[in-house]
Amino acid sequence: MFDFSRRKFFTSLAALPLAAVFSRPAKAATTHTVRIQGFAFQPSNISIAKGDTVKFKNNDNAAHTADDRGKTWKTGKIRGSQSKEVTYDSAGSFDYFCRYHPAMKGKITVS
């Protein structure tokens, strides 16, 4: 037999707004593009959210890298017309450079 009283109905109805608040989906991660062009990172400074990805897209004919000075990540060689991606799972500030062209510098701030 189906036993569903008014009290049970209103109690479950009252819990719905709380369930909606606690079941909100997390913000979707975003992919940001840093272009490598004219032997420079563009933009050279970028701020992103935790969980976001940075895509390093090489528009030069020369090969480049993007290496974190703190040595937590590196892209490896990125040939012309290629790209590499790095996802940032923790907050922090990351100064990076091109191993082949050390004058090329950038900074990623993750919050």
CATH superfamily of 31-110: Cupredoxins -  blue copper proteins (2.60.40.420)
Confidence at residue 91, expressed as pLDDT on a 0 to 100 scale: 96
- Could you say which residues of the chain have pLDDT below 70? 1-26
pLDDT digit string, tens, across residues 82-93? 999 999 999 999
Tokens 């992919």 correspond to: 31
- Structural domain boundaries in the chain: 31-110
Check: CB of residue 39 under 8 Å from CB of residue 101: yes
Q: Does an H or E element contain 106, and which?
A: strand 105-110
pLDDT digit string, tens, across residues 14-34? 655 555 555 556 678 899 999
Confidence at residue 2, expressed as pLDDT on a 0 to 100 scale: 52
Confidence at residue 23, expressed as pLDDT on a 0 to 100 scale: 57
